[in-house]
């Protein structure tokens, strides 16, 4: 099957129309007619080969929504016509200890939707049906797309570190991931502090559920927040003064990085010993967390704020994302 898509032919290039022959539909696969695809900052990192993992031609796009148009012989949980979403991960071995424990996102043999495979910025996607998730009725497709990578990536650490009404959660960087973290944390009943470098977002962040909005880059303001926060989730794809953020944590506090901050993290050990603080990372979410997140989002009406544009405007979308102008997730539509 010939698929019309958009690809970067070399690192850092603008996307161009690109047609490819999809691999034969495997027994465990589904074919999806793509209606929407969100633009995640990881797509930008992939286009730029920032992680030395990209393969070209590269069709980005891993917040994919569409209708199932064909199913492999072994697929029993999805039928033609089902509306599904696909995120960053496209497969796992399903046999290792981590998969058996339900942590497929930690499987050593996992594959990503748009590394070594062509992603969702096209008309069709063939992928493993076990990573295609039925979408709740009533959830708009454009608004479901950002949940499939951005949503699950912030929902997972909120669940893992016990976000609840007793805790204060700080969200550092309020873009595609961050604005969903603010909304989820507010729905969990947490006190929510949003840290932003964009003063014009302040009013919107309060409307999303932030109880307090702080500058993410003003050292003086950050020093004033010492001992205030239980869980900090950083979505920032840049380096910040992590020592100031550690100081903002209460005892047993956690600084969890989901944003791909470049370079080394350097903090004095004493900052971790005193107050038993931790720095950790979090990697998307497993399938169980994805299903739980979609149900939670539907129940609590966690609706991403999206800018919807035609798929042909993909390069404009990428430019806006690079320039931090997206409010708050750009979703491309076929
Ligand atoms: P995004 O929409 O561009 O949001 C990132 C936000 O970070 C921006 O909106 C901005 O928020 C802030 N920011 C950007 N540059 C900054 C700078 N120089 N200084 C301070 N703040 C800055 O990106 P995204 O799609 O949310 O993705 C964020 C990061 O998460 C990326 O690195 C992406 O690769 C990573 N990611 C990781 C996973 C995972 O599994 N761990 C999954 C998905 C994405 P303000 O305007 O509020 O300051
Ligand atoms: Zn992503």
Pocket test for ligand 1, best of 235, 282, 317, 326 (most atoms within 8 A of CB): 235
pLDDT of residue 111: 98
Check if 2-148+285-333 and 151-281 are the same fold. no
Contact of 258 with 154, CB cutoff 8 Å: yes
Contact of 21 with 132, CB cutoff 8 Å: no
Q: Could you write out the three-class secondary structure of the chain?
A: CEEEEEEECCCCCCCEEEEEECCCCCCCEEEEEEEEEECCHHHHHHHCCCCCCCCCCECCCCCEEEEEEEECCCCCCCCCCCEEEECCEEECCCCCHHHHCCCHHHCCCCEECCCCCCCCCECEEEEEHHHEEECCCCCCHHHHHHHCCHHHHHHHHHHHCCCCCCCEEEEECCCHHHHHHHHHHHHCCCEEEEEECCHHHHHHHHHHCCCEEEECCCHHHHHCCCCCEEEEEECCCCCCCHHHHHHHEEEEEEEEECCCCCCCCCCCHHHHHCCCCEEEECCCCCHHHHHHHHHHHHHCCCCCCEEEEEHHHHHHHHHHHHCCCCCCEEEEEC
Residue 321 Cα to ligand 1 midpoint, Å, equals 10
pTM over the 0.85 mark: yes
Contact of 36 with 333, CB cutoff 8 Å: yes
Residue 176 Cα to ligand 1 midpoint, Å, equals 7
- The architecture of the domain spanning 151-281 is 3-Layer(aba) Sandwich (3.40)
How do the pLDDT tens digits run along the chain, 334 residues long? 999 999 999 999 999 999 999 999 999 999 999 999 999 999 999 999 999 999 999 999 999 999 999 999 999 999 999 999 999 999 999 999 999 999 999 999 999 999 999 999 999 999 999 999 999 999 999 999 999 999 999 999 999 999 999 999 999 999 999 999 999 999 999 999 999 999 999 999 999 999 999 999 999 999 999 999 999 999 999 999 999 999 999 999 999 999 999 999 999 999 999 999 999 999 999 999 999 999 999 999 999 999 999 999 999 999 999 999 999 999 999 9
Domain regions of the chain by residue span: 2-148+285-333, 151-281
The set of residues, in sequence order, having a beta carbon less than 8 Å from that of 220 and lying 6+ positions away, is none
**Domain 2-148+285-333 sits in which CATH superfamily?**
Medium-chain alcohol dehydrogenases, catalytic domain (3.90.180.10)
Residues with CB under 6 A from ligand 1: 40-42, 45, 149-150, 153, 173-178, 196-198, 201, 216-217, 235-238, 258-260, 282-284, 321, 324, 326
pLDDT of residue 245: 98
Contact of 284 with 150, CB cutoff 8 Å: no
pLDDT of residue 305: 98
């Amino acid at each position: 099957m010939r698929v019309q898509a958009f690809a970067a032919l070399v690192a850092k290039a603008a996307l161009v129309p690109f047609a490819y022959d999809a691999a034969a539909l495997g027994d465990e696969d589904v074919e999806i007619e793509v209606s929407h695809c969100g633009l995640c900052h990881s797509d930008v990192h992939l286009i730029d080969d920032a992680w030395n993992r990209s393969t070209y031609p590269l069709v980005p796009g891993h917040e994919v929504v569409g209708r199932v148009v064909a199913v492999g012989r072994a697929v029993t949980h999805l039928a033609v016509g089902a509306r599904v979403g696909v995120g960053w991960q496209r497969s796992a071995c399903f046999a290792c200890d981590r998969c058996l424990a339900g942590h497929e996102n930690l499987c050593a043999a996992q594959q990503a939707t748009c590394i070594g495979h062509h992603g969702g910025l096209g008309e069709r996607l063939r992928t493993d049906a076990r990573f295609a998730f039925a979408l709740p009725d009533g959830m708009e497709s454009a608004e479901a797309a950002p949940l499939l990578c951005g949503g699950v990536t912030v929902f997972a650490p909120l669940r893992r570190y016990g976000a609840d009404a007793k805790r204060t959660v700080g969200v550092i960087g309020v873009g595609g991931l961050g604005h969903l973290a603010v909304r989820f944390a507010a729905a969990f009943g947490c006190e929510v502090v949003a840290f932003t470098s964009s003063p014009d977002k302040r009013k919107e962040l309060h409307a999303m559920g932030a109880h307090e909005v702080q500058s993410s880059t003003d050292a003086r303001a950050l020093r004033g927040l010492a001992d205030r926060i239980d869980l900090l989730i950083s979505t920032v794809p840049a380096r910040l003064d992590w020592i100031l953020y550690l100081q903002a944590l209460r005892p047993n506090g956690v600084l969890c990085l989901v944003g791909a901050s470049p370079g080394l993290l350097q903090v004095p050990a004493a900052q971790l010993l005193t107050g038993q603080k931790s720095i950790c990372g979090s990697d998307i979410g497993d399938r169980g967390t994805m299903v739980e997140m979609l149900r939670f989002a539907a129940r609590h009406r966690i609706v991403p704020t999206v800018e919807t544009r035609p798929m042909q405007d993909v390069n404009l979308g990428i430019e806006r994302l690079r320039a931090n102008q997206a409010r708050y997730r750009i979703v491309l539509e076929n």
